[in-house]
Amino acid sequence: MDVSAVTRFLAESEATRNAVDPDIPFSREEYAARLTKLRAAMAEDGIRTLLLFSPEAMCWLHGLSLRWYKSGAPRQWRPLTCSAVHVDSDTVIQFEGYEHQEMIRRTSVAQDVRLLPRYERAGMLDFIVRNLKDEGWTTGTVGVEKYSYVPNPAVAAQVDAALTAAGATVVDASDAIRRVRRLKSPAEIAYIEKAAEICDAGLLHLREVLAPGMTELEAWAEMVIGMARAGGEPAALHELAVVTTPAGGLGHAIAGRRVLRAGDWLEVDPCGVYNHYHANRNAFYYLGEPPEIAVELMTFLGGAYDVLTGTAKVGTPVREVARALREYYQDAGVWELNSQYWVGGYELGISFPPDWVGEWLFTVNSDEDQGVIEDGLVTNYESIIGLGLLDTIVYQTSGTRTLSTIPYEILSVPC
């Protein structure tokens, strides 16, 4: 083989690759504001240095977006991709391997990027700690995300031991980063609104093509195609598409090869996704004309959203919202029918596999102090009495609103 020709070919290819402009979701000013918020939270919690390992945290802070974080990789390739933040520094240090140098350039605003060659990755943890020590960032309290699935428990223990040996006092800093991520900026909310449009597009496309003879997997694929055509991305969880009954119980199933027939119920529970921001909306399809009692029940479940948006104003104690919703179900005499289901809402935002469920949540069946509704909060809400209805809610000083434009009804499929 002509090595010089191969060298020229690869050099030309590299030049073409490097000519592609970065695709950064937010402005540098937005990312700088996020760093300022995070450093303030660190100061409140007494954290000098913070190591971020979760994909969500790194993406939120400076934009990094990968499809592989080595969470279940061979032991020689430990999951040690991380961002380091110091309470007194306006610079984020990003640690990675050279294999992701181009991905960092394309997706991240991080300027201080420290890379290790692939064949030296066995020394990655030493590399990270040595660099932090040289910066003076291993003295005092060092926070790590104990509630992140990355790194895995074995590697997390190695990280703690290495930091401790370098003189640090290691603490859990999960709350600091999750706290500042909870309330969304206007730019983030705009992406969630786009994600909701994408989700609706997938649900409506599926309604157009759904028919007896399709499998659950084919229905799932059509829904995903509809969202992809609207600009959607893969979701952090498998998008539910399963033959079920109004009694429920299959909400966390994986689409399979069951063939749909006339008289079947198909429940789908996707998130539309835009720049990793998720918006949730489920739907029930009935192959044929749905039973009248089911139509009535779904209409009732949809009425809970009027109660929610009318009660959950910014500054309102969450337990007051929960009480109003609980009374809505109780007044209809159906509240006790949901004993096996959860009714409430959880935070939505940036998510990477394997989960789109955020930290903050509220439970309708509770009178405990659950905080107050805050400006910029985004959650889903699950109204469930056998049948379930889910939508995404945005809470702002300008008002609380749902995002889906699809009516709260059973979607009938002609057979």
Q: Is 111 exposed, middle or buried (0-12, 13-18, 19+ CB in 10 A)?
A: exposed
The overall average pLDDT reported for the chain is 96
Q: Is 23 exposed, middle or buried (0-12, 13-18, 19+ CB in 10 A)?
A: exposed
Q: What is the mean pLDDT of residues 296-325?
A: 98
pTM above 0.85, yes or no: yes
pLDDT digits (tens, 9 = 90+) for 194-231: 999 999 999 999 999 999 999 999 999 999 999 999 99
Q: How many helices (H) and strands (E) does the chain have?
A: 11, 17
Q: Give the distance, in angstroms, between the CA of residue 387 and the centroid of all CA atoms in the same chain.
A: 24
Nearest-angstrom CA–CA distance, 380 and 281: 8
Q: What is the mean pLDDT of residues 26-53?
A: 98
pLDDT digits (tens, 9 = 90+) for 372-408: 999 999 999 999 999 999 999 999 999 999 999 999 9
Nearest-angstrom CA–CA distance, 330 and 226: 38
The answer, yes or no, to whether residue 91 has pLDDT greater than 90, is: yes
Which pLDDT band holds residue 120 (cuts at 50, 70, 90)?
confident
Instruction: State residue 312's pLDDT score.
Output: 98
Instruction: State residue 119's pLDDT score.
Output: 84
Instruction: State residue 247's pLDDT score.
Output: 87
Instruction: State residue 245's pLDDT score.
Output: 92
The answer, yes or no, to whether residue 121 has pLDDT greater than 90, is: no
The answer, yes or no, to whether residue 122 has pLDDT greater than 80, is: yes
Hey, which bits of 119-180 come out as E strands? 140-144, 168-172
In which element (H, E) is residue 193 found? helix 186-209
Q: Domains in the chain, ordered, with CATH?
A: 3-182 (3.40.350.10), 186-413 (3.90.230.10)
The answer, yes or no, to whether residue 339 has pLDDT greater than 80, is: no
